[in-house]
Structures are given as structure tokens and as C-alpha cells.
């Protein structure tokens, strides 16, 4: 006898709530995240990379500026070479951190849903006046905030440092030329905060254990990069999609697109369209998984 | 949303796949303490999950203070739950956990901190609230769970096995607290598989077995409903053999046993009221030496045994 013949019907009331209340989840989660040793060590490493790049901006030798000017078709003008060196250094900073950001997001986000499932603390959220959207936003914004604090803030500091190195007479004009870099950094941060965090939450929800979530999350990030590198020189069916399987490269594609440049990668780089499709898809999947899980404690339905 | 704290279940059933956890349960719980009783696997925890909105009922309707809990997060402001498992973040202190969970009810950080301290004091954890929960004994964890359920001042409280792991002194304190909460007009539903625990808190019980409600009412009402079942009455008397010969011929009396040491009698009767009347008459008119008499099986254990066998 099926459930339907026994009178089963779906319980189809919609959710209702006044306003979103994810603030306490974010605040508590962020406090927990910054207590971790892994977070502090990674952050210290990020700061070291920032210091190196600041020193690089400060000490950029003339020969390098000239080489950059030559690469940019020999315009030679001082403002252009300075802007280019700034772009060059910021791009280097982004490239240096792109490989490490997944680690940071995985460490911070791997246990967020998994621990709630393992310890059955999800029940305590379900009996609070929170909707699944509150829960999802609360959990998503924890690694997203970490990305903003650990990446965007240092990156903008680097740009500001570059501006402050200019003589005061050139400072304002130079600052106004940095708009595209700032936009590119904001876009890159948004992509990393949303897509990387969503992927980690998806893995965390699926595994329901922190350590497997950390391992699987890292495997997906770095495995995707390996797949991209493998298909970069070939042209298999669905090549455009396969080349976009690395979220790290996809985020860099978005960064360079904002700067109106093409990303420098060996072989064929992912197209912007495919990168956006994959990043959006991962974000949507992560949201779906958490929202579905945060409705009920039932797992057999 | 209704003002009075209440839980109304109308023909609620819950399936997990093809396993029936709750079967057409209809019941109403209002202010005061109600015991939800049944052996392990009776469906108590599933029913609690349905009442608290953690699970949607497969069929039927649940109303918590007038609103369906599964789809009405706002009604959760009025609900406090002590879950059976230990879901509290083990590395955090009881104060941090309680304050955090209270903030999720919409309290500001300052108000949540004050409410958490009050609740922890009320459950007797004030001295240990700044220690990580992972170092707590089972009883202290129970108290911490109770604190997070009480901190936001709910008027509906659902307590799943709240006395598990408590020492006798702790049990007494928590039982008194639960009784006090019920006396304040809150709707308190206490689940347990230990019958005498619930008996010490309330006389109103809902008995469950195999997903069904097998009895709902006060203990004495239940016993009355079971009047066709023989009742055992203990009579302490000075001359038990003489008394036995007087009682054995009464209508409804099925068996009379002498207590060890000649202290009195155990009488099995289908008509306890007639027996009580006859014993009272013997004492008043014939000066029978009867020191005490009382039914021995109005306890929950006895009622539950009757209902499930």
C-alpha cells in the first residue's frame, strides 16, 4: 500500500517571517571562526603577502616600469607606467591569494552546517523564529565576511598604499585612475565570497561531518583546477564547461574581465560566459542544499 | 495566533517512508503540566518534532498557539524546547550557548546576556556557566539545555526526557521547577519513558504505544475508565484473617491474600467502591481494627501495564 492510498498529502503551507534575522548567526560564527588557529595562521600568511606586495610597490625598480611600459606598446608616460605597475602588483596579489582563499573558506565554512547536523543543533535553529533563508544567509555570510576581511581589506590597503606613494600633486589624479582595479577587486571578492562559500556549504551539508567536508571541499577546489589544466590544451566535448570547472580560475577570469584584459593561463582559458555559469550554478546549488536541509530534521523524505 | 498557550493536534499522523511513527493522534494541551508517556519507540519523539515544527505532519493538523508550527517561524517565539540529545555546542560555555540561542529569538545582545544569566541561575548553573559545556556532567548538560529553553520566557515548553542523567537532588529541583512553570499557566509537555518521574510532576498524562494514543486524561480518570479491570487494594488491619472471611464473600472480590507478617490483606476486586464501602462500614459499625486501606495500582505503572497488555 503506498502512502498516497493511505491518505498522504504534502504539507504545503508556505513559510512566513517578518524580516531576516541572520545577524546573530553571522556574529557568533565569525567569532568562532577567528578563534581558530588555522584562520590565524592563514591570515598571518595573507598579511605577509600584503607586506611583500607593498614593498614591491615601494621598491619597483625603473627597469621593471620600463619593461611594463614596453609590454603596453611603449607609451612610456609616467602615469601609465605607474598605473600599470599598480595593476601588475595588484594582479600578482590576487594571483598569490587565489590559491589560498579556498583553504581559508574551507577551514572556516567546512563545519558550519556539518557540525549542526552532527550534533543535532539544527533542531535548536528550527525551534527559533528563523526561516531557512535566515539560516542560509547566516551561514553563508560567515565565510563571506572572512573573505572580505582577509582578502578585500588587504587588497584595498595595497591600492591605497600605492596611491599614498605618489607625490601629493599627483595623488588625486592617480587615485581616480584606480577605479577599474577597485571594481575588479570588488567583483572578485563578491564571486569568491558567494561561490566559494556556497560550494563549501554544499559540501558541509552533504557530508554532515567537518573533517570529510574539509577534505572534500579542498578536493573539489584543487581537483577542479587539475581538470581545467588537463583540458586547457585539448578540445574534448563540452570543453567550454570543463575549462570552467576550476572556481579559482573562474574568479580570476571575472577579475581580468573587469580590467578589460584576458587572463594569462596556459592553453585555452575558461570563457567568461562559462565561468559565470559555473560560479552561478555552484552558488545556486549551495543555496538549494542548505535551504532544503534547514526546513526540517527529516532526512528520509 | 491565539493568546492562550496551547497545542492542538487533530488526527495527526507521521510516516517515515513506510514506518508509521504517529497514528491519527488527536489531543489538546493547555496551561499546566502534561506527561507524554510511552516506552521507547512509542512515537513520543516524533510527536514532539511534529509539535515543534521540526517535521511536517504527513496528514492532520497541528496548531501551536493557534498557528501551524512547521510554516510559522514567528510562533517559535512562544516555544521552548529541551531536546533529548545533547545538541549544545560542546566547546562553548553554557552562558555563550544560552545567550546565542536567546539572541536568535530577536533579543539584543545585552538583553540576551541578561536573560541567559537569569535562566542559568534558575536552573542552578550560575556557578559553572563560564565553563565549556564539554566538561559538564550529564546532569549539568540537562540543566544547560533547560536554561536555553527557558531564557526567552516561552509560554509553551516541550521537555524531552528532562530528568535524564540528573542526581536525586537535581531531579527534585527540576521537578519543582517544572511544576512551578505549570502553575504559572504555561503549557508544559514533559516526555518520559520513566513513569514515576512524570507521576511526580503531574496527574495529567497522554499515554502512547506503537504510535497511537492509548489513554489521555488524569490518572484517576484513567483508572475509572479501567473499572472493569480488577483493582488491588491493600488493607492494613489488626486481625487480617477475620477481616478476610468478611470480605471474601463480597461481590466483585476475586482474591484475598494475607500480607507477610500478618500486617493485613491484599484484595483483588472488580468493584473497589463496594469494597471501600464495606471496609468503612466494618470500621464504623463493628469496630474492625483497620489502620489504613488504599488501592495499590493507581500508579502510572499499573495503568500503563493494564493498557498495553
d(CA A256, CA A184): 7
3-state secondary structure A112-146: HHHHHHHCCCHHHHHCCCCCHHHHHHHHHHHHHHH
Q: Confirm whether the ipTM is greater than 0.85.
A: no
Contact B104 A298 (CB under 8 A): no
Note the pTM of the prediction, 2 decimals.
Answer: 0.82
Contact A124 B148 (CB under 8 A): yes
B100 touches chain A (CB under 8 A): yes
Contact B73 A128 (CB under 8 A): yes
A123 touches chain B (CB under 8 A): yes
Contact A24 B100 (CB under 8 A): yes
Question: Is the CB of residue B196 less than 8 Å from the CB of residue B202?
Answer: no
Nearest to B116 by CA among B89, B144, B91, B88: B144
Interface size, chain A vs chain B, as Cβ–Cβ contacts under 8 Å: 105
d(CA A131, CA B75): 12
Which three three-digit cell numbers place residue B33?
Answer: 503540566
The gap between the terminal CA atoms of chain A, to the nearest Å, is: 17
Contact A128 B16 (CB under 8 A): no
A236 touches chain B (CB under 8 A): no
Question: Is the CB of residue B31 less than 8 Å from the CB of residue B185?
Answer: yes
pLDDT in tens, chain B (309 residues): 556 778 999 999 998 888 889 999 999 999 999 999 888 888 999 999 999 999 999 999 999 998 999 888 889 999 999 998 775 677 789 999 999 999 999 888 899 999 999 999 999 999 999 999 888 988 899 999 999 999 999 999 999 989 887 888 888 889 999 999 999 889 999 998 777 778 888 889 898 988 999 888 887 777 677 666 777 888 988 889 989 998 988 888 889 999 888 889 999 888 877 888 888 888 888 888 888 888 777 666 677 777 766
Nearest to B276 by CA among B253, B301, B245, B303: B253
Q: What string of DSSP letters covers B190-231?
A: EEES-HHHHHTT-SEEEEEETTEEEEEEEHHHHHHHTTTS-E
**Alpha-carbon torsion B131, B190, A208, A150, what sign?**
negative
Nearest to A297 among B55, B90, B103 (CB): B55
Question: Is the CB of residue B44 less than 8 Å from the CB of residue B191?
Answer: yes
Q: In what order do the strands lie in the sheet with B19-29?
A: B19-29, B7-16, B59-64
Nearest to A155 by CA among A247, A47, A246: A47
Contact A128 B105 (CB under 8 A): yes
**Alpha-carbon torsion B130, B136, B140, B145, what sign?**
positive
Which three three-digit cell numbers place residue A75?
Answer: 607609451
Q: Distance (Å) from the C-alpha of residue A117 to the closest C-alpha of chain B?
A: 9
Amino acid at each position: 500500500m503506498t502512502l498516497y492510498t493511505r491518505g498522504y498529502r504534502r504539507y504545503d503551507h508556505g513559510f512566513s517571517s517578518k524580516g531576516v534575522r541572520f545577524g546573530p548567526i553571522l556574529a557568533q560564527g565569525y567569532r568562532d571562526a577567528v578563534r581558530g588557529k588555522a584562520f590565524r595562521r592563514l591570515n598571518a600568511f595573507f598579511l605577509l603577502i600584503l607586506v611583500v606586495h607593498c614593498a614591491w610597490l615601494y621598491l619597483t625598480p625603473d627597469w621593471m616600469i620600463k619593461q611594463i611600459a614596453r609590454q603596453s606598446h611603449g607609451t612610456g608616460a609616467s602615469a601609465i607606467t605607474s598605473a600599470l605597475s599598480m595593476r601588475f602588483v595588484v594582479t600578482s596579489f590576487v594571483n598569490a591569494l587565489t590559491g589560498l582563499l579556498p583553504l581559508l573558506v574551507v577551514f572556516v565554512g567546512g563545519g558550519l552546517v556539518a557540525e549542526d547536523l552532527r550534533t543535532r543543533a539544527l533542531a535548536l535553529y528550527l525551534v527559533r523564529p528563523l526561516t531557512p533563508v535566515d539560516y542560509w544567509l547566516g551561514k553563508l555570510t560567515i565565510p563571506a565576511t572572512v573573505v572580505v576581511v582577509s582578502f578585500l581589506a588587504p587588497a584595498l590597503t595595497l591600492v591605497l598604499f600605492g596611491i599614498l606613494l605618489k607625490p601629493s600633486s599627483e595623488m588625486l589624479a592617480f587615485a581616480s585612475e584606480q577605479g577599474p582595479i577597485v571594481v575588479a577587486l570588488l567583483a572578485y571578492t563578491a564571486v569568491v565570497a558567494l561561490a566559494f562559500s556556497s560550494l563549501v556549504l554544499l559540501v558541509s551539508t552533504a557530508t554532515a561531518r567537518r573533517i570529510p567536508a574539509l577534505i572534500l571541499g579542498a578536493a573539489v577546489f584543487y581537483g577542479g583546477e587539475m581538470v581545467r589544466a588537463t583540458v586547457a590544451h585539448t578540445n574534448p566535448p563540452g570543453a567550454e564547461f570543463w575549462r570552467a570547472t576550476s572556481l579559482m580560475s573562474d574568479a580570476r577570469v571575472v577579475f581580468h574581465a573587469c580590467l578589460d584584459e584576458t587572463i594569462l593561463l596556459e592553453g585555452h582559458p575558461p570563457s567568461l560566459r562559462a565561468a559565470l555559469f559555473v560560479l552561478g550554478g555552484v552558488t545556486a546549488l549551495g543555496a538549494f542544499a542548505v535551504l532544503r536541509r534547514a526546513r526540517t530534521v527529516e532526512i528520509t523524505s | 495566533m491565539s493568546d492562550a498557550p496551547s497545542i492542538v493536534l487533530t488526527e495527526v499522523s507521521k510516516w517515515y517512508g513506510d514506518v508509521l511513527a504517529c497514528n491519527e493522534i488527536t489531543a489538546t494541551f493547555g496551561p499546566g503540566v502534561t506527561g507524554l508517556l510511552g516506552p521507547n519507540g512509542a512515537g513520543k519523539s516524533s510527536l514532539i518534532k511534529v509539535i515543534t515544527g521540526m517535521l511536517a505532519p504527513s496528514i492532520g493538523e497541528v496548531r501551536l498557539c493557534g498557528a501551524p508550527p512547521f510554516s510559522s517561524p514567528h510562533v517559535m517565539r512562544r516555544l521552548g524546547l529541551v531536546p533529548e540529545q545533547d545538541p549544545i555546542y560542546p566547546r562553548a560555555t553554557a552562558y555563550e550557548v544560552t545567550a546565542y540561542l536567546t539572541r536568535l529569538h530577536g533579543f539584543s545582545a545585552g538583553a540576551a546576556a541578561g536573560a541567559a544569566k537569569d535562566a542559568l541561575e534558575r536552573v542552578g548553573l550560575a556557578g559553572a556557566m563560564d565553563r565549556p559545556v564539554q566538561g559538564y556532567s550529564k546532569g549539568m548538560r540537562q540543566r544547560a539545555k533547560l536554561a536555553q529553553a527557558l531564557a526567552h520566557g516561552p509560554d509553551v515548553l516541550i521537555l524531552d526526557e528532562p530528568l535524564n542523567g540528573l542526581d536525586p537532588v537535581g531531579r527534585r529541583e527540576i521537578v519543582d521547577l517544572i511544576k512551578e512553570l505549570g502553575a504559572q499557566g504555561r503549557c508544559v509537555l514533559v516526555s518520559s519513558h520513566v513513569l514515576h518521574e512524570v507521576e511526580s510532576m503531574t496527574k495529567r498524562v497522554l499515554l502512547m504505544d506503537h504510535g497511537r494514543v492509548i489513554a489521555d486524561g488524569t490518572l484517576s480518570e484513567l483508572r475509572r475508565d479501567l473499572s472493569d479491570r480488577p483493582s488491588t487494594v491493600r488493607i492494613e488491619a489488626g486481625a487480617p484473617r477475620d477481616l478476610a472471611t468478611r470480605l471474601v464473600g463480597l461481590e466483585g472480590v476475586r482474591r484475598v491474600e494475607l500480607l507477610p507478617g500478618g500486617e493485613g490483606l491484599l484484595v483483588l476486586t472488580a468493584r473497589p467502591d463496594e469494597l471501600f464501602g464495606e471496609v468503612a462500614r466494618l470500621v464504623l459499625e463493628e469496630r474492625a481494627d483497620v489502620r489504613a486501606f488504599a488501592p495499590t495500582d493507581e500508579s502510572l505503572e499499573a495503568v500503563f501495564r493494564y493498557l498495553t497488555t
